[in-house]
Structures are given as C-alpha cells and as structure tokens.
Structure 1
Amino acid sequence: MPAISSREWDRRDVLRAAGGIAALGALTACGSNTGRGGGGSGRSLKQMYHAYGEPGTQQAAQKFAKAYQDADVSVQWIPGEYEKKLFTALLSSDGPDVFEFHPQIHMAHERQIVPLDDILEGVKDDFHEADIASHTIDGKVYGVRMIDDPQFLYYRKSLLEKAGIEPPDTLDGLIEAAEKLTTDKVKGLYLGQTLQPIQNPLIWSTGAELLTPDNEIAYHTDEVVEALRKLRRLYAGKALLKGAPTEHWDPASFNQGLCAMQWCGMWAMPQILEAHGDDVGIMPWPSSGDPNGRPAVYNGGWSAFVSAKAKDVDAAKAFVKWLWIDQKEFQREWCLDYGFHIPPRRSVAAGAEELTSGLAAEGVELFNTAGIFDNPSWTQSMITTLTDVMANAVRDDADPERELDKADKKIRRDLDKIFG
C-alpha cells in the first residue's frame, strides 16, 4: 500500500456519503456474490464486511454464509474506504441487508438500522456489559458485537534493552524512547500514516473524554492542547516512521524491522509472535503525565447491524441471530483462528485458551484495566473533524488551540443536529 497522500488527510468524501450527498450506486465492483448460502428458500440476503487483513477471513465469511439454510447469503468483501462505500450503499435501494460497523447514534436516529433487542433476548448478560452499553441508543440495542479488538503499542524487548530504557509510562517518556531507539535503519515508532488511530487514546491519556455524559464537548482542554504540541515535536523529528508500506493495522513495518515500536491491534498478535517470538512486549498508550493522566487502550471491534432498508428485515435479523448468537463455534473461529480477537460472549471467551497465557493474556488484561469503548454519540463526522485537527496541528504545525476551536464549532453543530 503506498504512503498516504496529503489529499487523503481530508476525508470529507466519507462525510458526503454519510450525509446523503454522495451519488448512489450498487457496489458491483466491490466484491459482491463471493459466497452463497445453500438454503434454496427463495430468500436472499446481502452481507457486507470490510476487508480484514488476516489470511483466511474472507473464506471463513463465505463458509458461514454457505452454512446458513434459511436464505441465500451473498458476501460483499469491501477493500479500502469501507465507510464511504457502506454509507453510499445504505442510501441505495440495493444496499446490504446485514453489515458490520461501529455503534453510532445518527444511524439509529436516521433510521438506517433497526433495534435488535428481540434477538438478544435472554443472552444480553452473556455479552461484555460495555458491548451492550455502547450499542444501546435511546434504550434500545442496535448491534450485536462480533469481536472486541484492543489496540496498544507493541515493542521489541531486545531493542529497548539495548538502548537502556524501560517501556515508557508517560508521553514524554514515549517520545524520548522513540528518539533513543531510532537508528540509521530503524525508526523508533510507527503510529499509522494519518495518526488517526491514536487520536482518541491521546485525549483519554490526559484524563479527558470526547464528550461529557450530557453529550457536551469534553476533549478541548489545556492538557490536550499540550499533548498535541508534544506530538507535533515528535512528528517534526526523526524518530517517527513515515511513508510506511502499510497502515497501522498491518504489522508488516514492525515485523520487517522498520520500527522498534508500533501502535497496532490484538488481531495482529499471531503474526507478530511468529516474526519475533518472545522478543515482544505490549503497553497501553502512556499517560500524558498530567495529574489526571492515565494509560489508555482503545477497545475497538466490529458489530453486526441490520439495515432498515433490508428487503426482509425479519429474515436479516434471523441470520444475525443464527450467526452471531447461536453459532458459538463460528464465533470462536472468527475470533481466534485467523488473528486474535477477544470474544464478546462470556461463554465463548471462557473457552478461548489461546488468550489465557503469554502476550495474549497481557492483551486481555490491558483490555480489562485500561480499555475504553466506543461512545455511540461520537459519530463519523466527529471522527473526521478530529482527524483534521491531528492533520493540521501535528503534521502541518498549525496552532492546536485554534484547530480545536474550529473543531468545536463543527462538532457543536453535529451535536445540535442529534440532540437538539
């Protein structure tokens, strides 16, 4: 994958699709009909996935679809720009019946998705409580969590030991470590091509939140401004890997020795362990060092949703129930056989022996102790607005206070639209 261009830092094309401005059209070029069910019932369903990076995932999705006997299920496997293609498809009359995404309140308010409380009846307590809470909007649950994906910093133990440093527990310490670890051949740190992956952890590490419990702006604090200034100094120096061959979700840069530390997800752990064995450690995004600072782990993941425009909403809900509630063996396979993900179901997680020792167990511990989940009130538009702040303040050296002021105006408009 080529290095991201400056044009790609501005993701307003995603917002246009999300807001209904993008041109409508079927996703015939995006990998439809890659898996068929064998039910022969006359019902047909379209299921949309983003293109997972772990080998074998597409084939597994096709296998799951084929195993379903109550409808013919086609799998749409979407490489690149998943959000844009999804939002465009949801505006179409020929969009997916079932799709994966993250919980966002505007999708419920705009009636793009339907509540799933009925298919979750009797099993809510088997899900991690945060996976239910983060999908609950106006008292109704709108998605079924498929996988939980903590993200953290991977580091090479031997390289830190050689440099005479311990895993850093503050942002200043991380910057200093990245500088000491940088050589002619190895950069100290890789955070992704756009820095978007660490924008939430950077805010959380100061003790701030994205929004208050009353859905007011909470990210604009003096501590966040200072953290952005520190990140700018890191970006302007020589310790940060730029122009990497792949994005942060791919461990290739870390595995090939291009960087000593990389922000990545638990999904990549098997590949990283295969490349480096026990010479790998993990740590959360470090505290800002402020009095209220804290280590932060983004607990991401993917969830199944049913489109309100599905040709047969009940049939789509029945498929989601079959796959992501009834079929525990498929759920275990999806979480553990291709990469490492934490099963959202307690009953499935209880049998996940792969996650009970070594680095995987450390990842689960960070998930439980430092993990922060999605806030459904923080929408795609807000994500992109904050990405613009990162691009302008960190990459382009704009004043972070002024950039946050501009972001405040946009996000207040978004909040007013949602909450009145």
Structure 2
Amino acid sequence: MSAMSSSNWDRRSLLKAAAGLAAAGTLSACGSNNGRGGGSGSGTNLVQYFHAYGEPGVEQAVKRYAKAYTKANVATQWITGNNFESKLFSALLTKQAPDVFEFHPQIQLVKSGQVADLTDIISPVKDDFNPADIKSHTVDGKIYGVRMIDDPQFFFYRKSMFEKANVSVPTTLDELIEAAAKLTTSKVKGLFLGNDLTPIQNNLIWSAGADTLDDKNQIAYHTDGVVEGLKKLRTLFTSGHLLLDAPADFWDPSAFNQGLCAIQWGGMWGMPATQQALGDDFGVFPFPKIGSNGKESVYNGGWSMYVNAKGKNVDAAKEYVKWLWIDQKQYQADFSTSYGFHIPPRTSIAAQATKLKSGAAADGVKLFNTYGHFDNIGWTQAMITAFNDVIANSVRKNGDPEAALDACDKKVNVELKKLFG
C-alpha cells in the first residue's frame, strides 16, 4: 500500500471498521491497561502502528529510527494489506492497543478521548509547521497529532501520448472526458481514477466550487455543481475510455508506469518510481474545474502521528513522538524524500528538500501550494463512507445523483448531530 493510501484512508477497509466507529463515543470502551507490562526509563515498552507504505525502504527506516531511541523499547507493527484502519480501530478496543499510531485528523478520535492532546510538545515549534496542518489537527484550541508528511494527489499524464494524440492538458472536466476519448487506443485506456473511483470524490466536490462541510460544520457538498460533476463522471464511466479493475489501485503508479493508461490519479509519493520507469515523459496537473463556479483542486492528504490517550505509558509515548517527529529533523527529512516523495510539513525541512526543487516534483509542490485542500477534521470516516455510496450509486450504477446525495445527507446529518449537537 503506498505511502498514502492514507489520504483516502482506504475507504473499503473502513466499511469493515464501521462497527468500531459507528458512534463517536464507541472507542471510549477501550481500557487503559494494554497488558504488555512496562517499567520506567529504558525498561518502558512502546508499540507503534504503521500502515505498509509501498515504497521500498520505508519499513526499515521506521524501525531504524525506533532502534535509535534509548529511553524506551519501541516495537513497530507494520500492518500489511488493505485494511489498516479496521485493524487499528479493532486494536484500540483491546489490551493490545498501540501506544502510538499513524492516522489522519478525525474529530471522533478527539471527542471519544482516544487521542492525547499534544499541544505542549508542538507549541514550541508550531510556527515551523504549515499552518493548514496545524489547523486540520486543532479542536477547541488544542492540537492532536503531529503531521509527519503532506501527500498531494493530482493527475499524472504521459507527455508523449498527449503529443501523439494532439491533446492539451485539460482544465475542465469536459476537456478531461474529451482527452480520455482521444487518448484511448486498443492497448491504452485514456484515464485511471482508481478501481472504485472514490479517490477523487473530495476533488469532485472542491472542483465544483463546493466543500465537504462549511465553517459551521454543516453540509456544503450538495450543490448543482456536484450533481453536474456526478452526471459527467457517469458519462465517463460508461464511455469505455476509463481503465477499470487495474492490477493495483490508484496509490500504486504501476498502471501508469506500465502504459495501461495515459492519465492516472495518483500521489506525489509515486514520483520516484515513475521517474525511474518513464524518465521525463510525464507531467502533473490538478483535478479540472467543473461548471461555471468550479476551480481546479489538489487533495492534500498525508499521515500524522497520534498518542493513544488510553494507553499505559502516555507520557513515555508523547516523549517518543516528540523525540522522533519534532526533535530529529534528519529522520523527518529522510522519511519525506528518501523513499517516495512527500512534502515535509515543517517549513525549515521543506526549504532543504532539494529533491523537490526541480522537475515534476517542483511542479507537484507548486500544485500543492496553489490548489491544495487539506482534511477537514469534522469530515469523519462515516461521512466519507456515506459519500462513497454516492459515487457507487450515481456513477458506477445509474442512480439519480440527487437521490444519492439526499441519502448521503441523512447519514451525514446523523453524524454531525452526534459530534456537534
């Protein structure tokens, strides 16, 4: 799973985890005794959970960093397969719960008391973080979670295929649909949006000029522009120009690198593999605008480190997180650019990231800064799953988009009421 499946939080797995997340308070059933013993000083045992990054070397790096820490014994659980979230949320309900884990900002983790307040360790360096990363992890003035990497997602395209088909880089959804048609041949599909199309669902909303939620935590996605976008995606889905059932999902650039498609939605983390496969024969562009109120968009996903507030060694876990993700800048820089490409959330580290300063990587950083949208901490997994159903019912099936959005609204409003009253 690539360095980011994060960003879309591998939604299918969350359907399996839905039982554990159904109510904002569900996780509070978790006991504080993790049953692993422990001690003081170097005798303290900590366990950290990571999803399996797809880029070679990441697992070894994470374990190398942990081994260098002398104040506790840190064991790493490297969770393979497509269900990191369900394994994480299941584990959080048991005595084997991790002390430290990576995930994305989601308010139910805060409301249920599952994650520790990290304001005290972040405050001294807060101004060195991208302000959007601080904002997306803040609830009632307290910061929960340290951002490790920012992972922009956008379209990758083959320059030579565009030239041969006489196609320009699309700036509207209509142009993208036309481009996919012109680029499709007997061997190559024009476009790949991920196997279930859900990776682009937030961009569908943003590019139509809408948002997931507004600043009052009310539904902001149910607009005419989003309906128009869903109808156009349905046209694209039935056109024969979309790659469906690729061997690997969108987070893996192999479909693009192997020439199965001319354009693929993907993450910046995949760039080193694409450069190795295609040299300079690729570029990147944002999700195009939809309708007259639309604007181009990039999804800024990423991963953050959290401390389990219900663990046995909360203070020791916080100390470890501070050591690795705040004090050890060389490890943070290594993690961001030595394997896949990620944008360091800290300005001082990003300024030194030479690999991101030229070619497609520099273009990716520019797209991130110009068109990027960060996670809204109030847009929870249950809401994401509800919108997955909109894509399934009105794009992959031939359902009415308005009816699909109405059904989504009901589910989202139940969650909003639970979380915000």
Matches for 1:218-229 after TM superposition, within 5 Å: 218-229=220-231
Contact 1:393 1:400 survives alignment (8 Å):
yes
Pair 1:17-2:20 in alignment: yes
Give the Cα–Cα distance (whole angstroms) in 2 for the partners of residues 123 and 283 of structure 1: 32
Q: Which residue of 2 aligns with 1:342?
A: 343
- Shift, 1:240, TM fit: 0.5
- Shift, 1:18, TM fit: 2.0
- Shift, 1:11, TM fit: 5.1
| Residue identity matched to 1:243 | D
Deviations 1:6-32 (A, max 9, x none): xx969532211223789x99xxxxxxx
3-state DSSP of counterpart to 1:48: strand
Contact 2:213 2:221 survives alignment (8 Å):
yes
| Residue identity matched to 2:42 | S
Give the Cα–Cα distance (whole angstroms) in 1 for the partners of residues 359 and 12 of structure 2: 37
3-state DSSP of counterpart to 2:241: coil
Give the Cα–Cα distance (whole angstroms) in 2 for the partners of residues 401 and 105 of structure 1: 28
Give the Cα–Cα distance (whole angstroms) in 2 for the partners of residues 143 and 51 of structure 1: 20
Matches for 1:1-400 after TM superposition, within 5 Å: 12-19=15-22, 41-79=42-80, 80-288=82-290, 290-400=291-401
3-state DSSP of counterpart to 1:91: coil
Contact 1:10 1:388 survives alignment (8 Å):
no
Deviations 1:72-123 (A, max 9, x none): 0000111121111111111112201000000011110010101101111210
Give the Cα–Cα distance (whole angstroms) in 1 for the partners of residues 12 and 48 of structure 2: 29
Deviations 1:110-163 (A, max 9, x none): 101011011112100000000100000111000100000000000000101111
Number of aligned positions between the proteins: 401
Deviations 1:180-203 (A, max 9, x none): 100110000011111111000011
Q: 1:263 to 1:45 in 2, by over 3 A?
A: same
Give the Cα–Cα distance (whole angstroms) in 1 for the partners of residues 171 and 158 of structure 2: 16
- Shift, 1:402, TM fit: 0.2
Q: Which residue of 1 aligns with 2:5?
A: none
Q: Structure 1 stretch 48-57 or stretch 88-97: which is displaced more? A: 88-97
3-state DSSP of counterpart to 2:386: helix
Give the Cα–Cα distance (whole angstroms) in 1 for the partners of residues 58 and 98 of structure 2: 19
Q: 1:269 to 1:222 in 2, by over 3 A?
A: same
Q: 1:10 to 1:40 in 2, by over 3 A?
A: closer
| Residue identity matched to 1:16 | A
RMSD value, Cα? 1.9
Q: Structure 1 stretch 90-99 or stretch 69-78: which is displaced more? A: 90-99
Give the Cα–Cα distance (whole angstroms) in 2 for the partners of residues 142 and 56 of structure 1: 28
Give the Cα–Cα distance (whole angstroms) in 2 for the partners of residues 363 and 377 of structure 1: 27
> How high is the TM-score relative to the length of structure 1?
0.93
- Shift, 1:226, TM fit: 1.0
Q: Which residue of 1 aligns with 2:4?
A: none
Give the Cα–Cα distance (whole angstroms) in 1 for the partners of residues 309 and 22 of structure 2: 16
User: Which consecutive unaligned segments of at least 5 residues does structure 2 have?
Assistant: 2-10, 31-35
Identity within the alignment, %: 58
Matches for 1:398-413 after TM superposition, within 5 Å: 398-413=399-414
Deviations 1:273-304 (A, max 9, x none): 1111111010000001x222100000000000
